[in-house]
Amino acid sequence: MLRHPQVKGPRLGLLGYSKGGELCLAMAAFLKNIAAVASINGSVAVTVIPLCYKDKIIPTLPFDEKRVKVNQYNILDYSDILNDPFQVPGHQSLIPLEKVEANLLFITGQDDHIVKSKYHATETCKRLQAQGKENFQILSYPGTGHCFDPPFFPLYPIGKHPVFHKWAVLGGELKAYSKAQVHAWPKIQAFFNKYLNDK
């Protein structure tokens, strides 16, 4: 990335959504020259595929497909299938965010039905704070589901689940989601401008 002609460097900023947010957090835990990470509705634990880096393997967060619910419209709700990453013995699936030197911005939808992103971000920040770290902030939005796009993109409260490929509840309501989009986008830009501009 640093060799790409459109990357200014010497530090990188990463922006990721869902699994992409999870991978950006993992990159910041293991790689150098990352100054800022914005994770949008990303997990703080490894999901779906184990994370392998050099000789380190982080196993996936366990889930139980029997915990799938069906709503009144016969759409599947997967919000409770992932185990709590902070309760898994040994916390073995958690990304080691205590190693991260980059500044972290967690953007969470409080109506996220894929990842309990607000809970993940809040618990992570409590742990970081307990270790004396202050390199984090959370933007959390009510009425906003898993899909979180830049302003004026349409709302997708229902869509294909990224893993199970079945129609699933993603969450969100139009008015709240639209307000969240308009509020979050300049905050994301300001975050990167603050931590990526040369000092």
> What is the residue extent of each domain of the chain?
12-61+86-154+173-196
Is 112 one of the catalytic residues? yes
Mean pLDDT of the chain: 93
The answer to whether residue 199 scores a pLDDT higher than 60 is no
- Which one from 18, 39, 93, 117 is the annotated catalytic residue? 18
For 12-61+86-154+173-196, CATH number out of 3.40.50.1820, 3.40.50.720, 3.90.226.30, 3.40.50.620 equals 3.40.50.1820
| Confidence category of residue 141, pLDDT binned at 50, 70, 90 | very high
Closest CA to 29 of 125, 96, 106: 96
- Tell me: the pLDDT tens digits for 152-172? 999 999 999 888 889 999 999
- Supply the DSSP symbol for 144: B
Phi, psi (degrees; rounded to nearest 5) at 24: -65, -40
| Confidence category of residue 6, pLDDT binned at 50, 70, 90 | confident
Mean pLDDT, to the nearest integer, of 54-78? 92
User: In angstroms, rounded to a whole number, what is the distance separating the alpha carbons of residues 88 and 108?
Assistant: 22
Strands (E), 41-166: 51-53, 56-58, 69-70, 76-77, 103-109, 136-141, 158-160
pLDDT value of residue 198? 61
- Which one from 39, 79, 111, 112 is the annotated catalytic residue? 112
- Which one from 43, 146, 161, 178 is the annotated catalytic residue? 146
